[in-house]
Structure 1
Amino acid sequence: MSRPVIGVIANSHLLNDTYAVQAVGDMNLEAIAAVCDALPIIVPALPDIVALPDLMNSFDGFIFPGGRPNVHPEEYGEEPTPAHGEFDRARDRLALPLIRACVDAGLPILGICRGFQEMNVAFGGSLHPEIRDLPGRDNHRMPPDGTIAEKFAMRHTISFTPGGVFHRLMGTEQVVTNSLHGQGIKTPGSRVVIEGWAPDQTPEAVHIADAPGFALGVQWHPEYQAGIDPVSRPLFAAFGDAATNWANGKRSPVRQIA
């Protein structure tokens, strides 16, 4: 039997500051292949050449990964400021409607970092431009120096809603994760259910209420060492199971995730 096919939404990038490319981190692709037992395919975030119906008919699930550019604040009714950083409007135009279409259809999605924020904005939520500037909040950004292992090192605990989707999935109410983000949820979207919080009460895990398929998002980066990390592996494994079910004509409602 062929493996399910997972689309990974790319980010715009400039090679040598001049040549435009679409890029996805190897860690995302490796996690899909190793833990989901699926075929990862990079999807260019170029809505003028990638049509939603084609995507919906071609893939068994989508991962919306992290990326340096942030969701443009105009997508949630605010004005851009220097604190919002860089933007990728093409990814905004592809990712936000694709998230809504996937949720409506029950096609599995997993949002990671920027993808987590995209899920919130897709359902009418808003974002803080810089978490570390808020009173009582910690600095969640990537450490500026060090090796990859040091940048992706465990940074803080996350507490889950007792009995919720993530508690059931992880088998525990508290885990430890990395932290590499500047922005975060300000106002949750209409169907966005927050189920995980950092010690400073920054939202870190969400699901989409009443979604007919797998629709989870996390603010941390589970793709790092996904095959051996006790938090990352069950998340990717569950997503992979949902994609396999979709490929076989079955849905995996959020309420059934265990």
Structure 2
Amino acid sequence: MSDASAARAPLVWVVASHRELQNPAGHTQQYTVLDQGGQRTVLNMGLQPVCYPRVPPERLEGLLATVDGILLGGSDTNVHPRHFGEAPARGEFQFDEERDALAQPLIRMAVARGVPVLGFCRGSHDLNVAMGGSLHQWLREVPGMLQHHEEPDETLDEAYVERHFVTCTPGGALERITRMGRFPVSSLHSQGVKVLGQDLVAEAHSDDGLVEAFRWHDEGVFAWGFQFHPEWGWRWHPAYGRIMNAYVRACWKRMAERTGVQQLPLQPIVA
């Protein structure tokens, strides 16, 4: 194998977010940012994260053809509710319409072309809305809901600790992937699936009935949304590790199809 072949790894397009942040001088500026947990995880699992922010529509298909997976991570912003026919429910909501403008058509195009898609937290909302679904805009006002959000005074590690359990659909794809019917998950969100998008299938629910995991109906296309964060704790949480492992394998498979070259992963994939 040549040095160039040995260095080849699946390319994962990490969809960027756009935020107004304060610089050290106290001035606010616009920044393009990437989900740190997600990009580090795919890198540590042998994939190569890349990013193409603010892609004009006419370039989308060409750039999609150069990658082997799409990753949509979490963010403090929300998908704008106009994409599912509603007005914002609360004045303090923050939106990222530049992300919406890229993510919505990119997801639909990736699914149609068989490029693996993985979304967690806000990323799962991107996927659901792209397929015509809707969201609960403020779960804290929905009767009977568990606490799905973190507390303001929690440390980062405390915020990502398992907060409740999810139950997989018996005999479903997630149960087969994780080899578990029920497991604990993180929970850091105030929105969630209200109506699943067209051709999406629920694969896990929390005890209050909220959809926590879903997928594209055709299992031959890896396109999954997770309300929780499998990219955090993937090294030790058995369900998280197996979920990320399934995505990694789908990206290697896609690279083989795209390049015509069958290659082994650059490093062992977790069991």
TM-score, scaled relative to structure 2: 0.87
Equivalent in 1, 6, 16 of residue 10 of structure 1: 16
The answer on 1:25 being equivalent to 2:35 is yes
Distance between the aligned counterparts of 2:31 and 2:165, measured in 1?
Answer: 36
Deviation (angstroms), 1:195? 1.1
Q: Runs (4+) of structure 1 moved beyond 6 Å? A: none
Distance between the aligned counterparts of 1:125 and 1:146, measured in 2?
Answer: 31
Distance between the aligned counterparts of 1:249 and 1:164, measured in 2?
Answer: 26
Question: Could you list the per-position Cα deviations for residues 79-108 of structure 1 after superposition, in whole angstroms to 9, with x for gaps in the alignment?
Answer: 122168111111111101111111111110
Distance between the aligned counterparts of 2:214 and 2:92, measured in 1?
Answer: 22
The answer on 1:40 being equivalent to 2:49 is yes
Where 1:82 maps in the other structure, the secondary structure is coil
Letter of the structure 1 residue corresponding to residue 201 of structure 2: V
Which residue in the other structure is 1:196 paired with? Answer: 204
Greater C-alpha radius of gyration: 2
Distance between the aligned counterparts of 1:182 and 1:211, measured in 2?
Answer: 29
Distance between the aligned counterparts of 2:181 and 2:32, measured in 1?
Answer: 37
Where 1:231 maps in the other structure, the secondary structure is helix
Distance between the aligned counterparts of 2:58 and 2:144, measured in 1?
Answer: 42
**Preserved contact between residue 180 and residue 239 of structure 2 (Cα < 8 Å):** no
**Preserved contact between residue 31 and residue 227 of structure 1 (Cα < 8 Å):** no
Distance between the aligned counterparts of 1:221 and 1:84, measured in 2?
Answer: 24
Deviation (angstroms), 1:24? 1.5
Distance between the aligned counterparts of 2:227 and 2:140, measured in 1?
Answer: 15
**Preserved contact between residue 47 and residue 90 of structure 1 (Cα < 8 Å):** no
Which residue in the other structure is 1:117 paired with? Answer: 125
**Preserved contact between residue 104 and residue 212 of structure 1 (Cα < 8 Å):** no
Equivalent in 219, 225, 249 of residue 227 of structure 2: 219
Note the 1:84-103 alignment, pairs <5 A.
85-103=93-111
Listed as ranges, the gaps of 5+ residues in structure 1 are: 251-258
Deviation (angstroms), 1:57? 1.6
Note the 1:141-220 alignment, pairs <5 A.
141-210=149-218, 212-220=220-228
Question: Could you list the per-position Cα deviations for residues 23-75 of structure 1 after superposition, in whole angstroms to 9, with x for gaps in the alignment?
Answer: 1232111110123x10112332x244883113212210011111111011110
Distance between the aligned counterparts of 2:245 and 2:213, measured in 1?
Answer: 17
Distance between the aligned counterparts of 1:162 and 1:81, measured in 2?
Answer: 35
Letter of the structure 2 residue corresponding to residue 43 of structure 1: Y
Distance between the aligned counterparts of 2:178 and 2:212, measured in 1?
Answer: 14
Deviation (angstroms), 1:145? 1.2
Distance between the aligned counterparts of 1:192 and 1:84, measured in 2?
Answer: 30
Listed as ranges, the gaps of 5+ residues in structure 2 are: 1-5, 259-271
Question: Which structure is higher in RCO with an 8 Å CA cutoff and minimum separation 6?
Answer: 1
What is the total number of aligned residue pairs between the two structures? 248
Where 1:213 maps in the other structure, the secondary structure is coil
Moved more, 54-63 or 148-157: 54-63
Distance between the aligned counterparts of 2:52 and 2:238, measured in 1?
Answer: 28
Letter of the structure 1 residue corresponding to residue 35 of structure 2: G
**Preserved contact between residue 27 and residue 223 of structure 1 (Cα < 8 Å):** yes
The answer on 1:79 being equivalent to 2:113 is no
Distance between the aligned counterparts of 2:39 and 2:235, measured in 1?
Answer: 12
Letter of the structure 1 residue corresponding to residue 113 of structure 2: A
Deviation (angstroms), 1:165? 0.9
Deviation (angstroms), 1:205? 0.2
Deviation (angstroms), 1:211? 5.5
